Amino acid sequence: MRMQVYALLAIMALTVAVAAGQAMDSLGTVPGLAVGVLGLALIVGSGMWMLRKGRHTPWPEAEAALADGAAVALWKPGCSFCELLLRALADDERVVWVNVWRDDDANQRVRELNDGAEYTPTVLVGDTVLRNPSAAAVREALASGT
């Protein structure tokens, strides 16, 4: 998973290098350097966003919290839907966050729940599985105790 991110960043860097080279040939040195600097900034920003650590609870602890009535949100860095849910539920202490890229057991569980796909966010509340839920859907599931 992390290697996929590194490969994507390498492809992005190569693409920016080619674009900067072409811009230098056709437009001149300054525009070419501008393309290169802008592209490098985008790559660094993307890499920092996709590789950030974020909230993480090890799967055994999260599983225990699930048994105690908490919601367990399985997420991964770089997922914009995960980021939206995290921001919406940031202050809700009933939600435990598990980064599936940092925990092999959690990664295996999210794949079991989603027919082999690493589909995130996947939220567990009791026996209920919510795929890409809204914050309201998670709160409703927690309130109903399902």
pLDDT tens, position by position, 48-64: 555 555 788 999 999 99
Do β-strands 71-75 and 95-99 pair in parallel, antiparallel, or remain unpaired?
Answer: parallel
Taking alpha carbons only, the member of 134, 110, 112 closest to residue 122 is 110
**Cis link prior to 58 (omega < 30° from 0)?**
no
How much of the chain, in percent, has pLDDT values that exceed 90? 51
Q: Which pLDDT does position 19 carry in this prediction?
A: 73
Distance (Å, rounded) from C-alpha 57 to C-alpha 46?
24
Give the helix/strand (H/E) hosting 20: helix 2-27
Average pLDDT over residues 70-95: 92
User: Could you say which DSSP state residue 117 is in?
Assistant: -
Model pLDDT for residues 83-121, shown as the tens digit of each residue: 899 999 988 999 999 999 889 999 999 999 999 999 999
The pLDDT of residue 13 is 73
Token pair, residue 135, equals: 């914050």
- Name residues whose C-beta falls within 8 Å of residue 14's C-beta, 6 or more positions apart in sequence: none
Decide: 14 and 39 in contact? Cβ < 8 Å.
no
Partners of 130 in beta bridges:
123
In a 3-state reduction of DSSP, which class is residue 76?
coil
Q: Which of 146, 142, 27 is nearest to 95 (CA)?
A: 142
Q: Check pLDDT > 80 for residue 4.
A: no
Residue 96 and residue 145 in contact, taking contact as beta carbons nearer than 8 Å:
no
- pLDDT score, position 131: 97
- The chain-wide mean pLDDT, for the chain, equals 84
